[in-house]
Amino acid sequence: MRFSLHTALLFPALLGSLAACDPAALTALNGPGESTVPEAVRAVAAPNQNVDSARLLPEDGCWWYEYAGPVETTLLPLLTPEGRPICSSAGASSAEVEA
């Protein structure tokens, strides 16, 4: 098997792009283990949601948490037990919480 200079330069770039797909990288970007989720949000959140990974998105003013599925980690809306999204008073959605 022959390796060309092109292959030698392309291989590290490919590995770097695959490393960007690591779900742990999402959590690492959130900073140290300190939680920034207010107690008011924790109090109204339904069980079985990863509230520790929740963040307030400026696009909609609602809280979203990381769901680690079998294939990928994705953001899902943080919901109340009634199934309503938890949003700040600046957001225009259902269960409003003053953050």
pLDDT at 88 over 70: yes
Q: What is the pTM of this model?
A: 0.59
Do residues 63 and 78 lie in contact, with contact meaning Cβ atoms separated by under 8 Å?
yes
When the pLDDT of each residue in the chain is averaged and rounded to a whole number, the result is 76
pLDDT at 75 over 70: yes
H or E element: which one contains 68? strand 63-68
pLDDT in tens, 30-63: 444 445 899 999 999 999 999 999 999 999 999 9
Which residue matches tokens 């069980």? 47
Average pLDDT of the segment spanning 54-83 = 97
Domain residue spans of the chain: 5-97
Distance CA 52, CA 35 (A): 6
Distance CA 4, CA 24 (A): 33
pLDDT at 5 over 90: no
